[in-house]
Structure 1
Amino acid sequence: MQAKNPLHDNITDIPGIRVGHDTNLEAATGCTVILCDQAATGGVDIRGSAPATHETDLLNPIHLVSEVNAVLLTGGSAFGLAATAGVMRYLEEHQQGFQTGIARVPIVPAAAIFDLALGSANVRPDPESGYRACLQATVGPIPQGNVGAGTGASVGKMFGLARAHKGGLGSASTRLPSGILVGALAVVNAFGSVVDPDTREPIAGPRSADLPEGLSFQQAHPFSNTTLAVVATNVALTKAEATKLAQMAHDGLAQVIHPAHTMFDGDTIFALAVAQHRPDPSQKAQLVSLLGATASSTLARAILRAVQRAETLHGLPAATTS
């Protein structure tokens, strides 16, 4: 029997997916690119009420373009979306993009976290940052924690940043018995706490023994939070099915972040489908449901890994050192 290819337990286990980071620890910011070496069908679902995004409308099932060349996750708030230009330049150089008949236009949906309160607010990812991230892209194990878009992330800000923990970037994957793969990558910069899914006890949340009881929104900053994620599979999906995959993956976010999807978060999940497996159409609904459930649990693991691998930065402590 042919041996299975070894898995790295991250999103690069999906064939054709590469991930690269550009990291600035001094400024506490960076960006992460998920490159699709073969164009992937894309979907998106935005649940948070304070998103900073680019080209997400293209992923609506009623719109023309169905294939995505890359997804960019970035720090720097809306300023950091400028890094998309560098990703587009890299893709154009590699002749990837939507063929208009005149030129190829790379399709790069993007979303940003607000990380301006940690490090430097004046240094944000720019086109060169996006280009450098593409040059670093790999199909192998990827760095996690204080890297890329997770560099300046923080979590548990219900009582202000001074009591928060360090957030970060994490990734995980799952192989189903059929050989179908589901991967997830998360940038965790949540307003809420990251909790153990079994005990519901906080892993990374507000620090201090004298916290007031219950939740507080009095010190919440309306632009300083967001969890971003990309889930991917090696199954051929339509845009509507990829959108459903992104929608169901939000369950994983809600499993391990409390509270999630608040008015102060820009929670956004992208879905990518690489057409390696082409399922029987009569079984598609069952398969999409299975993929969604698997994406949910895989994303939950990626979120936990993001805070578990984060390290103290600029005085903001990691969960393991609090």
Structure 2
Amino acid sequence: MTHPPPSAAGAITDVAGIEVGHFTDTRRPTGCTVVLARQGAVAGVDVRGAAPGTRETDLLAPANTVEQVHAVLLAGGSAFGLDAASGVVRWLEERGIGLQVGPGRIPIVPAAVLFDLYLGDTRIRPDAQAGYAACDAASRQAPAEGSVGAGAGAVVGKVFGADRAMKGGIGTACVEVGGIRLGALVACNAIGDVVDPDSGRLVAGARTLDGRALLDTRRALLRGEPPRRLVAGSNTSIGMIATDAVLTKPQAARLATVAHDGLARSINPAHTQWDGDVLFALGTGASGRTADMMVLATMAAEAVAQAVLRAVRAATSVSAGGLVLPAARDFGA
């Protein structure tokens, strides 16, 4: 089966005011991805996983003071990867971008990380220099997808052990309704399988004992096959949606919540105690128009689900850390 090229379904960079840049460290592999909103964007967040790794998420609560962010960072490296946000802050500060506080400007950069330490030397992880480099690479062009940036070391389908899993990645998509655009960017490192919600077909996930076919984690668990004991937080899908609609902060928070429906449609199981799933929502307001929240919510879930599918379909196989992990393309998915 063939699939459309990454540009066919659009990208989060189709949303005015949004830029994306990757840094990929091929030594392990690992990396980070930054989404820039140089003019600022109203933001919200919803943390659904039970083992998250985050930075600056409390300030996004609707009742709290700060209204806008200037970038969002997604990174591998587990808790170590949060260091990459410091590089993003420095890059923005050097360009005079940030919240005016007294005599200076403070860039507001929330971040979320995923666990990708199964692959190779755990001492190699995104740092401040990596975050800075991702900013240098940022542009309005459609970002690369698959085994790059925050998705470089992503792995999916680990319920029955990492040795029976497959390669994850990062993907993007964009939906347009009535002249309003909403894009998504997701780094998929889920413990569960990835499923095409339109067809119900398995795309990537846990493999059979011989490694030659997809197992179907949902059905395996329901028939009583015991899951492998896992380390909490050793999974996680992280990402964001962005729209050019004018949003209030409470609306951004609500869109971050409903965007998780896209994870639940395309990942099974999702939001487990072993995942740290986090989604941000950004509103650039660049269209100058408001939109019906029911429509935006539907667009958000759709864009996230499509971004997850593209993340694994664009991924490439990897051999690192004693693991040999095929990709969805190797199974014709």
TM-score w.r.t. the length of structure 1 is 0.93
1:218 Cα deviation after fit: 3.2
Query: In structure 1, which of residues 204, 214, 219 is the aligned counterpart of residue 220 of structure 2?
Result: 214
Q: Which residue of 2 aligns with 1:184?
A: 184
1:53 Cα deviation after fit: 0.2
Q: Which residue of 2 aligns with 1:262?
A: 272
Q: Which residue of 2 aligns with 1:127?
A: 128
Cα pair 1:166 1:316 within 8 Å, conserved: yes
Cα pair 2:169 2:189 within 8 Å, conserved: yes
Q: Which residue of 1 aligns with 2:328?
A: 319
Cα pair 1:22 1:133 within 8 Å, conserved: yes
Q: Which residue of 2 aligns with 1:163?
A: 164
Counterpart residue identity of residue 100, structure 2: Q
Q: Which residue of 2 aligns with 1:205?
A: 205
1:298 aligns with 2:308: no
Cα pair 2:79 2:113 within 8 Å, conserved: yes
RMSD: 1.6
Q: Which residue of 1 aligns with 2:97?
A: 96
Q: Which residue of 2 aligns with 1:3?
A: none
1:307 aligns with 2:312: yes
Cα pair 2:164 2:209 within 8 Å, conserved: no
Q: Which residue of 1 aligns with 2:193?
A: 193
Q: Which residue of 2 aligns with 1:228?
A: 238
Matches of 2:326 and 2:232, distance apart in 1? 22
Q: Which residue of 2 aligns with 1:148?
A: 149
- Decide which moves more: 14-23 or 214-223: 214-223
- Decide which moves more: 160-169 or 189-198: 189-198
Cα pair 1:252 1:296 within 8 Å, conserved: yes
1:14 Cα deviation after fit: 0.6
Counterpart residue identity of residue 225, structure 1: N
Counterpart residue identity of residue 161, structure 2: G
Work out the number of aligned pairs and report it.
Answer: 311
1:245 aligns with 2:259: no
Deviation track 1:215-258 (CA, whole Å, cap 9, x = no partner) reads 24333221211001110000111110001111111111100100
Counterpart residue identity of residue 250, structure 1: H
Distance change (3 Å), C-alpha of 1:103 and 1:253 = same
Distance change (3 Å), C-alpha of 1:104 and 1:87 = same
Matches of 2:325 and 2:120, distance apart in 1? 10
Q: Which residue of 2 aligns with 1:39?
A: 40
Matches of 2:197 and 2:330, distance apart in 1? 21
Cα pair 1:182 1:232 within 8 Å, conserved: yes
Cα pair 1:169 1:306 within 8 Å, conserved: yes
Cα pair 1:159 1:220 within 8 Å, conserved: no
Distance change (3 Å), C-alpha of 1:7 and 1:203 = closer
Cα pair 1:252 1:295 within 8 Å, conserved: yes
1:15 Cα deviation after fit: 0.7
1:142 Cα deviation after fit: 1.0
Q: Which residue of 1 aligns with 2:4?
A: none
Deviation track 1:14-51 (CA, whole Å, cap 9, x = no partner) reads 11100000001221100000000210000000111010
Matches of 1:74 and 1:181, distance apart in 2? 25
Counterpart residue identity of residue 204, structure 1: A
Matches of 2:50 and 2:126, distance apart in 1? 23
Q: Which runs of 5+ in 1 are unaligned?
A: 1-5
The alignment partner of 2:265 has SS state of: helix
Query: In structure 1, which of residues 263, 271, 279 is the aligned counterpart of residue 281 of structure 2?
Result: 271
TM-score w.r.t. the length of structure 2 is 0.90
1:8 Cα deviation after fit: 7.1
Counterpart residue identity of residue 107, structure 1: I
Q: Which residue of 1 aligns with 2:176?
A: 175
1:22 aligns with 2:31: no
Deviation track 1:80-106 (CA, whole Å, cap 9, x = no partner) reads 000000000000011011111121110
Cα pair 1:11 1:183 within 8 Å, conserved: yes
Cα pair 1:169 1:188 within 8 Å, conserved: yes
Counterpart residue identity of residue 236, structure 2: T
Matches of 1:39 and 1:321, distance apart in 2? 41
1:72 aligns with 2:42: no
The alignment partner of 1:88 has SS state of: helix
What percent identity do the matched residue pairs reach?
A: 49
1:209 Cα deviation after fit: 5.1
The alignment partner of 2:318 has SS state of: coil
